[in-house]
């Protein structure tokens, strides 16, 4: 996407995170924890699906002029693919790896994809920013508020510590498998998978998530703890 665009999108994402976190602070004791979490995770599922759709509609094609601009590697190996249009990124990436070798393609993947990709970038950007916004006013801050309220005083410290570990471990696992997903499942399918996970999370929370707004810790413990 280019250095300037990457910097600008990073600034925009950070700004949206701050703004929607303040929105969560303002709303959490007014509308409640449950509505914020449900609305947020539903928005996350929709936003990821929008990203998946945007990537699904993308096409990939290299022109002779674009191939000639590659100076960091021998681009003549790409000449047989000039003018060939691809409707999915997975087939395009596999052909590029076959032509250049996995190592060379891996080092230059960003430049090659930037040159070849034609897509509705605005749609994908809307999906990504929607994801950031929905996370920032729901799962980001509200989850930790609810966790601090839902567990009995006797186990609260231990429970939050364990959940913090599970949360960090899950984030680490996703960081490890996401590049593999992009290379083996494609951009669209990767985002659709995470969108489906969010949708499952929505229906699970819809069924089991209690509301803790306006209740004391003792009252919550009395309602939730089973002898």
pLDDT of 56 reads 92
pLDDT mean over 66-83: 86
pLDDT of 13 reads 84
| pTM exceeding 0.85 | no
Contact 190, 182 (CB under 8 A): yes
pLDDT mean over 34-43: 93
pLDDT of 75 reads 83
pLDDT mean over 98-116: 87
Q: Residue 148 CB: number of other CB atoms within 10 A?
A: 14
pLDDT mean over 51-63: 92
pLDDT of 24 reads 87
Check pLDDT > 80 for residue 45.
Answer: yes
pLDDT of 41 reads 94
Q: Which two tokens stand for residue 130?
A: 């929607």
Q: What is the pLDDT of residues 131-148, one digit of tens each?
A: 999 999 898 888 888 888
Contact 136, 21 (CB under 8 A): yes
Q: What is the pLDDT of residues 160-178, one digit of tens each?
A: 889 889 989 999 999 999 9
Residues recorded for the chain: 227
Residue 6 φ then ψ, to 5°? -65, -40
pLDDT of 157 reads 83
Write down the mean pLDDT value for the chain.
Answer: 87
How far is it, in rounded angstroms, from Cα 212 to Cα 214?
A: 6
pLDDT of 27 reads 84
Check pLDDT > 60 for residue 2.
Answer: no
How far is it, in rounded angstroms, from Cα 4 to Cα 166?
A: 36
């Amino acid at each position: 996407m280019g250095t300037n665009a990457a910097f600008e999108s990073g600034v925009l994402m950070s700004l949206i995170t701050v703004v929607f976190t303040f929105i969560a602070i303002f709303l959490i004791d007014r509308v409640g924890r449950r509505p914020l979490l449900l609305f947020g995770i539903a928005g996350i599922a929709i936003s990821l699906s929008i990203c998946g759709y945007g990537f699904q509609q993308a096409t990939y094609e290299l022109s002779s002029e674009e191939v000639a601009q590659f100076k960091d590697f021998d681009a003549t190996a790409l000449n047989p693919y000039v003018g060939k249009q691809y409707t999915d990124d997975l087939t395009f990436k596999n052909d590029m790896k076959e032509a250049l070798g996995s190592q060379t393609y891996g080092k230059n993947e960003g430049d090659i994809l930037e040159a070849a990709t034609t897509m509705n970038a605005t749609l994908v950007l809307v999906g990504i920013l929607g994801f950031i916004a929905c996370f920032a006013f729901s799962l980001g801050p509200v989850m930790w508020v609810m966790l601090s309220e839902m567990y009995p005083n006797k186990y609260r410290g231990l429970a939050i510590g364990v959940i913090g570990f599970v949360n960090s471990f899950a984030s680490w696992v996703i960081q490890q498998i996401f590049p593999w997903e992009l290379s083996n499942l494609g951009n669209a399918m990767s985002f659709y998978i995470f969108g489906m996970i969010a949708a499952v999370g929505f229906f699970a929370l819809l069924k089991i998530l209690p509301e803790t707004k306006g209740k004391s810790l003792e009252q919550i413990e009395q309602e939730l703890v089973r002898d």
